């Protein structure tokens, strides 16, 4: 048998083993902290439509040269044209996310859409869906966002589901109606209540009035809303999911306010926008790590396998 054939066979076996390990490791782990079940803190950087090829490479290098403590989980979401190049050069302990995911249930004639398996092939472990900018600018309904979430989950991606209210809705006392009766209820209706499904779900609460404005909800306000979301999940999904679900806060998070927000008992992470395009993202990670207890870590073998799978699946590496 040709040595080349043998080598390709070995690479295929290693790749399949790596994917299996990644699927096992992608589920949030439950730990004890301060006598309560808590979730590993997860920080995501959403680069939006703000980083071209050169900037994406610079940010990747910044992360590769920086420190990522083991008690926080980190992912970044490049623009879709640069997912492959970022995934193939990024350190193994930082995951890659897509900024959106198609709702189409199969590959085919869906111009402009990205089917979930395309995203996993490119190196993604997560997909962000329902960001307020897509809900507003693309008129995405809560039903469509929920369908995208289910599609991502059904095809091997973890999903970060964004929810949030505008200032007008908050001032009018419609926070619960918007967040829970509309956005969260649509999600539950679509993906169901099975605990195993929710293991791969992160909720990102982003008050629309605080995104990119420099205005941040006070820690008390953020905690109150996160607790409201978690209690609703307990009543409408299950107590197990309520205990395990990770709820990120997003809205002008920066290094200067990260530690105070991270101390809130129902805030389990951040979804960071503009600050993720600067070295301040490393400050957010460091300041958060310093004020939370040690959490579960991804085994080193899994981190190395993650890097290997990205390299093998990247077209420019074949």
For the question of residue 226 being annotated catalytic, the response is no
pLDDT, residue 279, reads: 97
In a domain, 3, yes or no: no
- Would the pLDDT of 287 be above 50? yes
Mean pLDDT of the chain: 85
Identify the three-state secondary structure at position 248: strand
pLDDT digit string, tens, across residues 134-161: 999 999 999 999 999 999 999 999 999 9
Tokens 């398996």 locate to 117
CA distance linking residue 306 with residue 185, whole number of Å: 34
The band of 299, judged by pLDDT with boundaries at 50, 70 and 90, is very low
In a domain, 75, yes or no: yes
In a domain, 311, yes or no: no
CA distance linking residue 77 with residue 46, whole number of Å: 5
CA distance linking residue 131 with residue 112, whole number of Å: 18
CA distance linking residue 249 with residue 181, whole number of Å: 20
**Residue among 133, 140, 165, 206 flagged as catalytic:** 206
In a domain, 197, yes or no: yes
In a domain, 22, yes or no: no
Number of domains in the chain: 1
**Residue among 131, 133, 165, 226 flagged as catalytic:** 131
The band of 23, judged by pLDDT with boundaries at 50, 70 and 90, is very low
Higher pLDDT, 90 or 25: 90
pLDDT digit string, tens, across residues 214-253: 777 899 999 999 999 999 999 999 999 999 999 999 988 9
Give the domain extent around 82.
Answer: 29-297
- Which uninterrupted H or E stretch holds 63? helix 53-65
In a domain, 77, yes or no: yes
pLDDT, residue 1, reads: 56
In a domain, 219, yes or no: yes
CATH code of the domain in which 149 resides: 3.20.20.70
Asked if residues 41 and 73 have their Cβ atoms less than 8 Å apart, the reply is yes
In a domain, 20, yes or no: no
């Amino acid at each position: 048998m040709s040595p080349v054939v043998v080598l390709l066979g070995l690479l295929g076996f290693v790749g399949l083993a790596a994917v299996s390990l990644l699927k096992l490791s992608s589920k949030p782990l439950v730990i004890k902290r301060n006598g309560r079940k808590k979730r590993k803190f997860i920080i995501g950087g959403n680069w939006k439509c703000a980083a071209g090829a050169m900037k994406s490479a610079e940010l990747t290098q910044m992360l590769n040269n920086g420190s990522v403590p083991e008690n926080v989980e980190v992912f970044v979401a490049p623009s879709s044209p640069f997912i492959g190049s970022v995934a193939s050069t990024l350190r193994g302990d930082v995951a890659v996310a897509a900024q959106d995911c198609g709702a189409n249930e199969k590959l085919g004639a869906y111009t402009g859409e990205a089917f979930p398996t395309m995203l996993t092939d490119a190196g993604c472990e997560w997909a962000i869906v329902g960001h307020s900018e897509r809900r507003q600018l693309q008129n995405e309904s809560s039903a469509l966002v929920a369908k995208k979430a289910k599609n991502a989950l059904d095809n091997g991606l973890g999903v970060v589901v964004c929810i949030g209210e505008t200032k007008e809705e908050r001032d009018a006392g419609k926070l619960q109606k918007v967040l829970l009766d509309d956005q969260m209820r649509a999600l539950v209706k679509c993906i169901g209540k099975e605990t195993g499904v929710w293991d791969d779900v992160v909720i990102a609460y982003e008050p629309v009035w605080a995104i990119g404005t420099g205005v941040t909800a006070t820690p008390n306000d953020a905690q109150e809303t996160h607790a409201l979301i978690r209690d609703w999940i307990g009543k409408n999904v299950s107590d197990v999911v309520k205990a395990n679900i990770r709820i990120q806060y997003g809205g002008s998070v920066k290094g200067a306010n990260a530690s105070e927000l991270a101390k809130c008992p129902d805030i389990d992470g951040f979804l960071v926008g503009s600050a993720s395009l600067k070295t301040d993202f490393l400050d957010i990670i460091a300041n958060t790590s310093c004020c939370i207890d040690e959490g579960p870590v991804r085994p080193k073998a899994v981190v190395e396998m993650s890097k290997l799978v990205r390299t093998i699946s990247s077209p420019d590496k074949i």
